[in-house]
């Protein structure tokens, strides 16, 4: 299950403690965010070595502003605490490509 992040501290802890992280930046008003959520939940189940989290941009405004989001949905891919890749939009095929690229990245 994709974990919803409730605080900056929780967000920073996950990024610093996990080697591979996928962040879905989301909002309750974003229909495309809702549409892609089931795919992310399935990938969370399928890729056990990747941590999947969701951040509501309205609940954690300061964190989302720092992320430099331009559109919704935006998905960030982190590897060893550093931003590895980004996907803007709800394209299932591109999402899978990005996740496979992250999964294939060597763990430092």
Residues 33 and 70: their CA atoms lie apart, in Å, by: 14
* pLDDT for position 18: 75
Residue 107: per-residue pLDDT: 76
Residue numbers annotated as active site: 30, 33
Please tell me the pTM assigned to this model.
0.94
What is the per-residue DSSP string for 27-94? -TT-HHHHHHHHHHHHHHHH-TTSEEEEEETTTSHHHHHHTT--SSSEEEEEETTEEEEEEES--HHH
Decide if domain 3-103 falls under CATH 3.40.30.10.
yes
Please report which confidence band the pLDDT of residue 108 belongs to, taking 50, 70 and 90 as the band edges: low
Looking at residue 70, what is its pLDDT?
A: 87
pLDDT, one tens digit per residue, over 34-89 is: 999 999 999 999 999 999 999 999 999 999 999 999 899 999 999 999 999 999 99
pLDDT at res. 8: 95
Q: Determine if the peptide bond prior to 34 is cis (ω within 30°).
A: no
Domain map (residue ranges) of the chain: 3-103
Other beta carbons less than 10 A from residue 43's beta carbon: 19
């Amino acid at each position: 299950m994709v974990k919803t992040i409730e605080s900056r501290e929780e967000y920073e802890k996950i990024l610093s403690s996990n080697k591979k992280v996928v962040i879905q930046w989301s909002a309750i008003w974003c229909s495309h965010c809702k549409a892609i959520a089931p795919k992310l939940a399935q990938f969370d189940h399928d890729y056990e070595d990747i941590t999947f989290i969701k951040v509501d941009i309205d609940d954690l405004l300061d964190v989302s502003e720092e992320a430099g989001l331009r559109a919704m949905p935006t998905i960030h891919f982190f590897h060893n605490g550093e931003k590895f890749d980004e996907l803007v939009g709800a394209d299932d095929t591109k999402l899978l490509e990005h996740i496979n690229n992250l999964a294939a990245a060597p763990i430092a």
